[in-house]
Amino acid sequence: MRYHTDLPADPSIRRILIIKWSAMGDVIIATALFEDIVRAFPNREIHLDTQPAWRDLLFAHDPRFQRILTVDWRDRHRRFHQTRSWLRQVRSGNYDLVIDLQCNDRSRLLLSLLWLSGHRIRYRLGNRRQLPYNLAPVELPRPAHTITRSRAALEAGGIPATTPRPVLYIPERHHARAQAFMAQHELAPGDYAIFLPGCNANGHLKRWGADRYAALANQLHQEGLARIVLIGGSDEVDECERIARQCGPWLVNLCGQTEILDIPPLCESARCIVANDTGTAHLAAATPTPMTVLCGPTDPRRVKPLGDNVTALQADLPCINCYRKTCSHHSCMAMLTPVRVLRHLRTVRELDAGQVLWVDPA
């Protein structure tokens, strides 16, 4: 069994399949790896296997892929049908190389079933030294960020993994929509901040809180920043409205008004971004704008958006990274006071890029 080889040097590799389903944040992180793969294999045919939602929202106009395969794995009552559909699509692709960036029990099982059914893909690259992969890195220390594991997998195949942040191909209409929002709300480049104050409703402990975001917005405005912009989805409307009620007319609440690919163009011209551990933070990381991500129950070494422009801030408490869904005190977020976050924003340009910073609770 091989564990390292120089795949780009093999001219017999003509068609490649990349597997990445997962949550939106992980898929956006993986777009940096997609860029690495495309650069390593010029003039090869590359297909992406992802979820239908990500095909439509993120990759409908992505020139890196000649075909996008989709199976909706969310319906647990249709596993036989889903498996048969996936096997049929992959068999028809006649791939020379499959790069499994998902590497979970399902993707390993599917690739093993493909092998046992007699369809032999020559190169099968993953991040673990186990079947069905014949290319994999050495074991990595834990906890390891998903990008660390995936980069190690690419490098085991001789694929340089150097792209520093997500790469999204955004149609012109989304740039035009962002420009229209900026004109309507008088958002001058460099004179507004973007807040991403929500997250999925099931992960409410990841939220810093409306009162703290409102306090930070007021302090930034008092120091001369013309506008604060709130961005979020349907789960976050109430949170953004609570923030808006505590601020003046200079606050721009765009929650529920933006499409997914409007967000990077809006973030690109901002002075800074403040966010919870949320999927939209990964979208914002596709821009070079300095971003601070506020972490409490989730481990920033695993969840921090990709990019040398992103810093994670977390209180240094014994109970951090608990990943709990309920908590009686929520101290991890309470210790990140608006004053402390403001102090961090004042110095963020002087910090080493990409840090995780722990705040002393004393």
Q: Does residue 264 contact residue 291 with C-beta atoms inside 8 Å?
A: no
Task: Measure the CA–CA gap between 21 and 55, rounded to whole angstroms.
Answer: 10
Task: Measure the CA–CA gap between 206 and 197, rounded to whole angstroms.
Answer: 10
**pLDDT tens digits, one per residue of 301-324:** 888 999 988 999 998 888 888 888
Name the one residue in this structure whose structure tokens are 């699509």: 89
Query: What was the pLDDT predicted at 360?
Result: 55
Query: What was the pLDDT predicted at 340?
Result: 93
Task: Measure the CA–CA gap between 104 and 115, rounded to whole angstroms.
Answer: 17
- The C-alpha R_g of the chain, in whole angstroms, comes to 22
Query: What was the pLDDT predicted at 210?
Result: 96
User: What are the chain's domains?
Assistant: 7-156 (3.40.50.2000), 172-359 (3.40.50.2000)
Residue by residue, pLDDT tens for the chain (362 residues) are: 556 789 999 999 999 999 999 889 999 999 999 999 999 999 999 999 999 999 999 999 999 999 999 999 988 888 899 999 999 999 999 999 999 999 899 999 999 999 988 898 999 999 888 889 999 998 776 667 789 889 999 999 999 999 999 999 999 999 999 999 999 999 999 999 999 998 876 778 889 999 999 999 999 999 999 999 999 998 899 999 999 999 999 999 999 999 999 999 999 999 999 999 999 999 999 999 999 999 988 888 888 999 988 999 998 888 888 888 888 888 888 899 999 999 999 887 544 445 666 555 55
